[in-house]
Amino acid sequence: MPALAFLSQWRDRLPGVCAVCASWPARPVCDACVARFAPPVPRCRSCALPVPEDVARCGECLRHPPPLDACLACCDYAWPWPGRIGRFKFQGEAGWATPLATLIRSMPWVEPVLEQADLVLPMPLSAQRLKSRGFNQALELARQLSPRKMEARLLLRTRDTPPQSGLPRAQRLTNLRGAFALEPLRAHEARGRRVVLVDDVMTSGASLFAAAQVLRDAGAAHVAGIVFARTGRPDAARAP
């Protein structure tokens, strides 16, 4: 076995060791790594992309306002987070929900948004993806963030969609049309409520925006999004 692979397995299995730098004793991610790899940065209020200081919203959101009143992201989708998120989502390590949710709660403005919310909804998975993964990582995060307000069966994923990577933003939104719905007998529960959508990673924002629009159409008074990691928007230059 290569030395690096051996060290990685040793580090991941030893309790009390930081999963990033292997310092001990430490929580799953030590304070030094949080400060280095998840520092607070100015972000667009509507889509959580990084923006310069004193800028409230990015140009794309000014031109095409999304159906979110607020959007908060803990960090960029960059090393070391893709590997940790991959273990959480695809390797059955649901225990990562606790440290990732702790990092999310450390962000400015997250606590007030959660406290003011009436409903906290995880982004739902399609039946196919739920079967392949065994659990919904967004649900596990939402349960950690707000167990009393979390509702797992109000927002539904009505169909699976093909991979969206490489598609322009407009086409991603078209592909997701009708992919989300509220449970018909409970749709009235969103009317006049303040709702928070939770997910692990936000890429183009198309999925989060599509779900937020369903809540808007149902009469939600305020819709916010909270995610752990935010990617860039590679198709921003060609978005309509």
pLDDT at 164: 59
- 122 is in which domain, residue-wise? 40-238
Same domain, 176 and 94: yes
Instruction: Return the closest-CA partner of residue 72 out of 36, 34, 111.
Output: 111
Same domain, 55 and 97: yes
Same domain, 14 and 100: no
Report CA-CA distances (Å) from 196 to 116, 177, 184, 214: 9, 20, 19, 13
Same domain, 22 and 138: no
Same domain, 75 and 163: yes
Same domain, 133 and 228: yes
Same domain, 134 and 160: yes
pLDDT at 27: 78
Same domain, 64 and 182: yes
- Total number of domains constituting the chain: 2
**What gap in Å lies between CA 89 and CA 52, rounded to an integer?**
32
Same domain, 45 and 150: yes
**What is the chain's pLDDT, residue by residue, as a tens digit (240 residues)?**
444 343 344 444 445 788 888 888 767 889 899 999 999 999 999 999 999 999 999 999 999 999 999 999 999 999 999 999 999 999 889 999 999 999 999 888 999 999 999 999 999 998 888 988 899 999 999 999 999 999 999 999 998 776 555 556 666 667 778 899 999 999 999 999 999 999 999 998 999 999 999 999 999 999 999 999 999 865 443 333
Same domain, 46 and 29: no
- Which CATH number belongs to the domain containing residue 153 in this structure? 3.40.50
pTM of the full structure = 0.87
Same domain, 144 and 174: yes
Same domain, 81 and 29: no
